[in-house]
Amino acid sequence: MTHSSPLPLEGLRVIELGQLLAGPFCGQLLGDFGADVIKVEDPRHGDPMRQWGRERPYGKSLWWPVVARNKRSVTADLRVAEGQELVRKLLRDADVLIENFRPGTLEKWGLSPERLWEINPGLVITRVTGFGQTGPYAARAGYGSIGEAMGGIRYTTGDPDHPPARTGISLGDGLAAVFACIGTLVALRARDTTGHGQVVDAAIYEAVLAMMESLVPEWQVGGYQRERTGSVLPNVSPSNVYPTADDQSILIAANQDTVFRRLAACMGRDDLATDARFSTHADRGTHMDVLDEIISAWTLRFGAGELLDKLHDGGVPAGRIYRAQEMLADPQFVARKSIVTLMHPDFGEFAMQSVVPRLSGSPGTVRSIGPELGQHNLDVWGSELGLSSPEIEKLREAGII
């Protein structure tokens, strides 16, 4: 895709040393808004994300073109002094370094914050790990799933008569990346005042914990342990999935008092809004099961399309549960270009989610899909760092890039 107006992060240079998802998704978010994200990969295999994903047509990942979009790829072996020196040179004029290795790895490679600030005092160093840079667990290996478990979301996800479940995405990694991105932008704003960079320390378990609403004080103050409740939230009703005459499932969310009155009117049951069991939010939560039975009996009288028309006309939040095929066909997604399509050299038309959030004056764009391994070596190591062709070839032959 092309863009005509300047992107808000144009001129910002980000060096991404991370791999897999938590660090690279942070880089993707910055790249979406115009940052020049240079991804440094191992010259032998590259980021493992190049091979990840359930479906791999042509032996290639369908995940990589998304998480590596709007980035440039160079290669350097960070385990050897020559590769480390290349990255130090690259970081002299950079604004941000993103990494998600175990704590101590950068230090082992001679890329500690203190050493990097000697050559670039304004560098923001964003570090994404399972447990953070400090504390007794800092040195542990930490995947997103472990952070989800320790952060509380695994225990509360699923049906009460089954073991804790997981969502079907890498939620912990994604949340850590979003918070890392926020922290990076805050640190850049602080640099405008101080002139100095700082470390952004994003721990996966803390990113998950940050989303856990009032779970901690519910236990600490109220002595209440939040448990798994399947498709509903405790004491929030009606907000559930309801059946239709054509075997579809429609989600209706009408737990607020005013919205529940609108739902009762749609049902031709104004009496429900004044029924002592359902007249307040707390009452509806107490009698959730009875209310769900009443609503289900009503929704079963209609096909999904007719039911949704009634609910939408009545101002009641409701919708289908979408899969990818519904998203691609939905007029709201189409009108807002929520899914964009780029050309991939192997796959042809390649659809992926667009940039979030939307800015009215300087929106982000998806400008390119994930690059080939080392695709930009000549541009970066040669044109931008000034290495000659013989020097680049010598590094390549030695396996350093």
Q: Are 193 and 222 in contact (CB under 8 A)?
A: no
Kindly name the residue from 32, 36, 77, 173 that is annotated as catalytic. 173
Q: 192-210 b/e with 16+ CB inside 10 Å = b?
A: eeeeebbbbbbbbbbbbbe
Q: Are 16 and 39 in contact (CB under 8 A)?
A: yes
Q: In a 10 Å sphere around its CB, with 0-12 CB exposed, 13-18 middle and 19+ buried, how is residue 343 labelled?
A: exposed
- Cα distance between residue 366 and residue 197, in whole Å: 28
Q: Of all residues in the chain, what percent are helix, strand and coil, respectively (each to 5)?
A: 40, 15, 45
3-class DSSP state of 352: strand
Q: Are 26 and 367 in contact (CB under 8 A)?
A: no
Biggest CA–CA distance in the chain, Å, is 84
Which phi and psi (to 5°) does residue 248 adopt? -100, 170
Residue 172 half-sphere exposure, CB side, CA atoms within 13 Å? 24
- Integer CA distances (angstroms), 307 to 34, 130, 145, 304, in order: 43, 45, 38, 5
Q: How do beta strands 239-243 and 249-253 pair?
A: antiparallel
- Cα distance between residue 64 and residue 86, in whole Å: 25
173 given a catalytic annotation: yes
- Cα distance between residue 145 and residue 85, in whole Å: 34
Nearest to 252 by CA among 313, 317, 321: 317
- Cα distance between residue 72 and residue 78, in whole Å: 17
The residues that are catalytic are: 173
